[in-house]
Copies of this chain bind each other. A is one copy, B any other.
Amino acid sequence: MYIGIDIGGTNIKIGIITKLGRILASTSFKTRAPRPYEEIEKNIFDAINSLCQKESIDCNTIKGIGIGVPGMVNSKSGIVLRASNLGWVGIDLEKRFSKLSHKIVKIGNDANCAALAEQKFGGGKQYDDCVFITFGTGIGTGLIINGKIYDGYGGTAGECGHMVIVKDGEECACGNKGCWERYASASALTRRTEMMAKQNPQSKLNNIIAKYKNVSAVTAFEAARQNDEIGKQLVDEYIEYVSIGLINLIQILHPQAFIIGGGVSNEGKDFIQPLNHRVNKFVQDNNIYPQVEVKKAILGNTAGMIGAASLVMD
């Protein structure tokens, strides 16, 4: 058995995971960041102990602890270089946790953990070379090359959301301009939807927003399904921006598949399907062979935990 910890900006999830990726037991609590690192560390250890006690699991049967962190992580040195949402800079996480737990500890970037989980136990099981992409507040990506996370020489590769696709484009939180995630994250679609709703107060888009008292990346898809012209335009534009990034990744890495996560991945026939069509038309037109599959991730928000635990599996 292994412990997988998925540290998120909002929640921290902890699971006891088997070698086959099954969740035996899990718990979670609010991150309440920013607050001192030591507090969060203590909360995590308390939560692990309660969980083991509650489930009558002998701590000695836990073989290792894997931790997914939302930020830039050097997986080789075990240090969190920067996790902006947590306010962490240069935390020697692997060493601290291993000293306190007397277990093998490995850390990884959260998107890389999710990628590893999907590749080992989820939607990417049959692929040795695939790219896992979550469309959320930003775009998280994890590269799987030869069946393993590829995070480069320094342990920080796979930040595909920050490839520039629009020179001198919108400013990104990273300090650069025109990054893919400024146009193709779920938040980008939400922003665009809000803007178009304001500009078109009579549209069905506005009715939907009023009805659910909420705007999200799903709003435009819902409006498009109701045949709203503005909704359809928003979805078309969004799919185009997403495709540009996927096609760039095909030119560079030609993976077997893209495994798509995040809330927007549930828009199967309105998102995954047209995306698949567009990407593979490009592949075919350019004599690139074989085709590249665009598939939905299947582990949902447990992928982070399972993938974190996978870091310490042999």
Binding site for B on A (CB under 8 A): 72, 74, 81-82, 89, 128-129, 143, 145, 150-154, 156-160, 162-167, 169, 174-176, 241, 244, 247-249, 251-256, 282, 285-290
Q: How far is the CB of A267 from chain B (nearest CB, A)?
A: 22
Whole-angstrom distance between the Cβ of A72 and the nearest chain B Cβ: 6
Chain B residues positioned under 8 Å from A157 (CB to CB): 251-254
CB neighbours of A252 from chain B (8 A): 143, 157-160, 163, 249, 252-253
Known contacts A81-B289, A165-B167, A175-B285: A154-B254 contact under CB 8 Å: yes
A256 touches B145 (CB 8 A): no
Pairwise interchain contact B248-A163, C-beta atoms closer than 8 A: yes
Contact A129-B153, Cβ < 8 Å, known A248-B164, A287-B72, A287-B81? yes
Q: Is the pair A251, B81 in contact by a Cβ cutoff of 8 Å?
A: no
Q: Considering the chains assembled together, what is the distance between the CA atoms of A162 and B282 in angstroms?
A: 12
A79, B164: Cα distance in complex, Å: 33
Q: Is the CB of B156 within 8 A of A145?
A: no
Interface centre among A150, A152, A285 (most CB of B within 10 A): A152
In the complex, A151→B251 CA distance in Å?
A: 10
Chain B residues with CB below 8 A from A290, complex form: 153-154
**Distance between Cα atoms of A187 and B158 in the complex (Å):** 30
A264 and B252 CA atoms in complex are apart in Å by 23
Choose among A152, A158, A241, A251 the residue with the greatest number of B CB atoms under 10 Å from its CB.
A251
A256 contacts across to B, CB distance below 8 A: 153
Is A288 in contact with B248, judged by CB distance below 8 angstroms? Answer: no
Contacts of A282 in B (CB 8 A): 176
Q: A156-B254, A159-B251, A167-B244 are in contact. List 5 more A-B contacts (CB 8 A).
A: A72-B288, A163-B251, A163-B252, A164-B247, A166-B167
Asked if A174 and B286 sit within 8 Å, CB to CB, the answer is yes
Contacts of A255 in B (CB 8 A): 152-153
> Which residues of the other chain, B, contact A254 by a CB distance below 8 angstroms?
151-154, 156-157
Instruction: A152 to B251: give the CA distance in the assembly, Å.
Output: 10
